[in-house]
Structure 1
Amino acid sequence: MQSDNLTGGQELLCINTEKVFDWILNEATFDLSLNDLELPVNPVTGDQLECDDIDLDTVTCTVAPAEVDPIVVLDREDQVFTVDGEEVTLQIVNLRKNFDVTIFVDLVPELGGATVEVGTVEFTRCEQVILCAPDGTDVDVTYTDLDCFVCTAACDPGTTTEVDELDVTVTVRLCQSIQSTFDVTLEIVADFCQPRDILPFPPCPAPTMPQQCPAVFPNNGNGDTNDIG
């Protein structure tokens, strides 16, 4: 029976999985200058915002990987390195990373102090890493931390026909896990997993009685009535 095959000792298995050829963790910090960001309209009144309508001390940012092509492996080049006195061929991998930075600012208290989105700017940063990543392996980049903060912010008043603009410098910090992997088929000796125990349903609750109102019912039987109000 099939169920008999799931019990007993270990068995020789053939599985598909990923072999990790190399794995590094690294950190990067870079600055961005985001200039000429036009102030939006007031989301409540629909009026065009001006420099006097915003609090420059409240400018903030968020950063996220781009929705399209967040990580692009441009190319990789073999290079011989000496590690512990032994020559080894590794790869210099060129990466291109695409991000979106969004800028926010608070309105002055006189206008309600709401937070409004000024705009989103796309930017690209390139990086080289040294990996054991021969042709045929995949290079996977995972961000373990991705954050930003506003370093400086200034507002340029426009003219009667131009919209006021925000100039911001932003510092972006990222921590990343970079692996080179390859799909492999392995032969291993292991136990089959077993299904877990079924959890019992909780018992049915006992009947409950709604809260009564003894102050008004039943009365004390003496015929007196009390006004309620």
Structure 2
Amino acid sequence: MQEIKPSHDRREYICINVDKVYDWVVKELSFDFSPAGPISFPGVTPPVDFTGAAVTCKVTPSATNPIVILNREDRTFTIEGSRVCLQHLSVQKNFDVTLIVTLPNGTMYTSAAIPVTRCEQVTLCAPKGTDVEITYTDLDCFVCTTGTLTATAGFISFTALSISVSVCQSIQSTFPVTVEFLANYCEPRADLPSSCSPTGRPKQCHGLFPSTNC
């Protein structure tokens, strides 16, 4: 006998709200910077012997305005024989870099966040009204040089500090749209079989109880 599927198994047109991707590029960005002056290191009190100390860093997108679109300019390009209007974007990226100084005895000092700003330009289809979203697929840094370290109350000074930052970024221009398509409704998966464990009982002391004289 042919199985009759319930009505919710049948395909039908449905509408959902999604973000349409107008354009998408992946770019790499590397830059060096050298913070000037003493850097805030809460908890540092002189004197500190920095002989053999290791200096490392961490970089994260700024908590406030990590991405700012400074300018969006229309430009015409010829692509495969056709004239296409694209947008030339000037983008400001804001980062926070933290330094970690580790002494040979294991003592660690962590700096306050060092704000770093870098700007770049990218061309893609991002007409007025679209949102530009940047996702960092990789964001890393390393300390290239430090020079001599000197501690004062709450600060550490470096004579030749240089930090390198490398960025891999996914840049998309998007706009919310409502789309219609033919689809099947999903069914829940079958529940996993389960069974109760048999009731256990402790071992008996045979030969002691019950008594063989009974």
**Shorter-chain TM-score category?**
0.7 to 0.9
Gaps of 5+ in 1: 213-217, 219-229
Matched, 1:84 2:80: yes
Q: 2:56 aligns with which of 60, 71, 89?
A: 60
Whole-angstrom distance in 1 between the partners of 2:150 and 2:171: 44
Where do 1:187-198 residues align within 5 Å? 187-198=180-191
Change beyond 3 A, Cα 1:180–1:162: closer
Change beyond 3 A, Cα 1:27–1:87: same
Q: Is the 8 A contact 2:38 2:155 kept in 1?
A: no
Q: Which residue of 2 aligns with 1:166?
A: 158
The residue matched to 2:112 in structure 1 has which SS?
strand
Q: How big is each residue's C-alpha offset from its partner over 1:155-187, in whole Å with a ceiling of 9 and x where there is no partner?
A: 25479x996512421100000000011111111
Q: Is the 8 A contact 1:100 1:123 kept in 2?
A: yes
Q: 1:117 aligns with which of 91, 110, 114?
A: 110
Q: Which residue of 2 aligns with 1:226?
A: none
Q: How big is each residue's C-alpha offset from its partner over 1:126-162, in whole Å with a ceiling of 9 and x where there is no partner?
A: 1111010011111110000000011000225479x99
TM-score where L is the length of structure 1: 0.77
Change beyond 3 A, Cα 1:74–1:209: farther
Q: 1:48 aligns with which of 41, 46, 49?
A: 46
Q: Is the 8 A contact 2:40 2:154 kept in 1?
A: no
Percent identical pairs in the alignment equals 43
Whole-angstrom distance in 2 between the partners of 1:118 and 1:85: 54
- Residue 53 of structure 1 aligns to which amino acid in structure 2? F
Change beyond 3 A, Cα 1:125–1:49: farther
Q: Which residue of 1 aligns with 2:193?
A: 200
Q: CA RMSD in A?
A: 2.8
User: Per-residue deviation at 1:91?
Assistant: 0.2
TM-score where L is the length of structure 2: 0.82
Q: Which residue of 2 aligns with 1:36?
A: 37
Q: How big is each residue's C-alpha offset from its partner over 1:74-94, in whole Å with a ceiling of 9 and x where there is no partner?
A: 221100011112110000111
- Residue 37 of structure 2 aligns to which amino acid in structure 1? D
Gaps of 5+ in 2: 209-214
Change beyond 3 A, Cα 1:203–1:137: same
- Residue 99 of structure 1 aligns to which amino acid in structure 2? F
Q: Which residue of 1 aligns with 2:14?
A: 13
Q: Which moved more, 1:26-35 or 1:193-202?
A: 193-202
Q: Which residue of 2 aligns with 1:155?
A: 148
Matched, 1:102 2:98: yes
Change beyond 3 A, Cα 1:17–1:40: closer
Q: Which residue of 2 aligns with 1:25?
A: 26
